[in-house]
């Protein structure tokens, strides 16, 4: 018997020790809804408030919001107006007259119940209930508004720019935007007519002037005979260039300088300018008269140095005696002509 008792005691002690060494599985996070402080081994079973909210609850105890928005409450909002019935001034609806669950009507929405409203509708501008008098666009009750053809209540009309009572296009402008005509007559354009010939430069065959030969901006000019480089004017007289072979102006009271244009008489053979009052230098252009075979400039007031070009003209011994010509003298000038010069004013 004693032996049996010992065996029983040992069995109890063995089972008791085995229970003490067994782990308790559960949630060890104190922030979780199912936290178990007796747990010795976390088994990833924690459930949090966020998980409850996703499931439609508002607390870890599976509570939900009542009609008044209280979690786990028992409030009611019968009329679904967002106000709990226990603090709602009207559980139901206000009628048009502001009475809770009343049947009043305010057909014209003027805040006055129809049963006490002096005018169910609107007063017109003459204070007649539901009358038809209105204020016109000029502010007059029952008026006719702006007269036909006018643009405002003051009787003004629109100008050409569409401005009521405006003055239209300003003087000098070509439109209502303040643009002006360009040289080509285009309003607001940028065209130019530099030569003022009435043709825009971008389509003008000649921006400038044609000379008498028809060349644009050429240097040929209409001559004294009305032709083009056919005549030349010398000392007020007009000479045909091709036909003039002799020019005899001895003792003709000529004054001033010998014109350089004399070179244009290319067919000239005889040039007589003796006994005048010609002054200044002999023009170098005289050397271009290669067809000359007689040149006489004696007895004038010619001065300065004789140009070397004088020897290029046709007369190999031109006469220049009795002038005021200065040295050095070209080789074609005779010693006799040199000896007759008045050199008192020469350098």
* Contact assessment for residue 33 and residue 52, using Cβ atoms and an 8 Å cutoff: yes
The three-class DSSP label of residue 131 is coil
pTM score, two decimals?
0.44
330 vs 19, which has greater pLDDT? Answer: 330
Question: Per the structure block, which two tokens stand in for 191?
Answer: 């065209």
Residues 6+ apart with CB under 8 A from 117: 106, 108, 110
Tally Cβ neighbours within 10 Å of residue 238: 13
- Cα gap 246→273, rounded to integer Å: 11
Question: Per the structure block, which two tokens stand in for 49?
Answer: 């408030």
- Cα gap 153→337, rounded to integer Å: 102
Q: What is the CA radius of gyration of the chain?
A: 64
Fold of 231-339: 3.80.10
Q: What share of the chain is helix, strand, coil (3-state, %, to 5)?
A: 15, 15, 70
6 vs 339, which has greater pLDDT? Answer: 339
* The predicted structure's pLDDT at residue 14: 38
Q: What is the mean pLDDT of residues 150-159?
A: 86
- Cα gap 232→235, rounded to integer Å: 10
Question: Per the structure block, which two tokens stand in for 298?
Answer: 């004696």
* pLDDT tens profile 228-243: 889 999 999 999 999 9
Confidence band, pLDDT 50/70/90 cuts, at residue 342 = very high
- Average pLDDT over the chain, rounded to whole? 86
Domain ranges of the chain: 27-58, 231-339
* The predicted structure's pLDDT at residue 245: 97
* The predicted structure's pLDDT at residue 330: 96
Question: Per the structure block, which two tokens stand in for 247?
Answer: 């020019």
Sign of the alpha-carbon torsion through 35, 37, 38, 44: positive
* DSSP states along 145-193: -SPTT-SSTTS--B-TTS-BT---SPTT-SSTTS--B-TTS-BT-----
* The predicted structure's pLDDT at residue 188: 83
Confidence band, pLDDT 50/70/90 cuts, at residue 13 = very low
User: Above 70 in pLDDT, residue 344?
Assistant: yes
Q: How far out from the chain centre does Cα 314 lie?
A: 69
Give CB contacts under 8 A, 24+ apart, made by 332-336: 333/306
Q: Which of 56-65, 71-80, 251-260 has the lowest mean pLDDT?
A: 71-80
What percentage of the chain has pLDDT greater than the value 90?
Answer: 36
Question: Per the structure block, which two tokens stand in for 71?
Answer: 């979690």
From the list 197, 172, 199, the residue with the least C-alpha distance to 187 is: 172
277 vs 9, which has greater pLDDT? Answer: 277
* pLDDT tens profile 278-332: 999 999 999 999 999 999 999 999 999 999 999 999 999 999 999 999 999 999 9
Q: Which of 18-27, 64-73, 103-112, 144-153 has the lowest mean pLDDT?
A: 18-27
* The predicted structure's pLDDT at residue 105: 87
* The predicted structure's pLDDT at residue 20: 54
Q: What is the mean pLDDT of residues 328-341?
A: 94
* Contact assessment for residue 265 and residue 245, using Cβ atoms and an 8 Å cutoff: no
* The predicted structure's pLDDT at residue 122: 86
Tally Cβ neighbours within 10 Å of residue 34: 14
* DSSP states along 240-266: ETTT--EEE-TTS--EEPPPGGGGG-T
- Cα gap 327→342, rounded to integer Å: 11
* pLDDT tens profile 246-260: 999 999 999 999 999
């Amino acid at each position: 018997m004693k032996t049996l008792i010992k065996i029983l005691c040992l069995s109890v002690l063995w089972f008791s020790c085995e229970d003490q060494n067994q782990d308790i599985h559960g949630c060890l996070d104190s922030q979780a809804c199912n936290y178990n402080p007796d747990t010795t081994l976390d088994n990833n079973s924690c459930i949090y408030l966020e998980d409850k909210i996703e499931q439609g609850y508002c607390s870890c105890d599976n509570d939900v919001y009542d009609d008044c928005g209280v979690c786990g409450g028992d409030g009611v909002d019968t009329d679904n107006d967002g106000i709990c019935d226990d603090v709602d001034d009207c559980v139901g609806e206000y009628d048009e007259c502001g009475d809770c669950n009343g049947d009043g009507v305010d057909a014209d929405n003027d805040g006055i119940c129809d049963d006490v409203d002096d005018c169910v509708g609107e007063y017109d501008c003459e204070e007649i209930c539901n009358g038809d008098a209105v204020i016109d666009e000029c502010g007059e009750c029952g008026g006719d508004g702006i007269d036909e053809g006018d643009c405002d209540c003051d009787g003004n009309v629109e100008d050409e720019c569409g401005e009521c009572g405006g003055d239209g296009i300003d003087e000098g402008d070509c439109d209502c935007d303040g643009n002006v005509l360009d040289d080509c007559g285009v309003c607001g354009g940028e065209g130019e007519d530099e030569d003022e010939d009435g043709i825009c430069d971008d389509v003008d065959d000649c921006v400038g002037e044609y000379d008498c030969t028809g060349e644009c901006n050429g240097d040929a000019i209409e001559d004294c005979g009305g032709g083009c480089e056919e005549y030349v004017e010398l000392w007020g007289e007009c000479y045909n260039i091709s036909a003039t072979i002799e020019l005899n102006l001895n003792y003709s009271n000529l004054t001033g300088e010998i014109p350089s244009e004399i070179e244009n008489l290319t067919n000239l053979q005889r040039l007589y300018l003796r006994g005048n009052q010609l002054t200044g230098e002999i023009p170098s252009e005289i050397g271009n008269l290669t067809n000359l075979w007689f040149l006489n400039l004696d007895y004038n007031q010619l001065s300065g140095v004789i140009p070397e070009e004088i020897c290029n003209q046709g007369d190999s011994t031109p006469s220049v005696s009795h002038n005021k010509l200065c040295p050095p003298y070209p080789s074609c000038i005779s010693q006799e002509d040199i000896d007759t010069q008045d050199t008192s004013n020469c350098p």
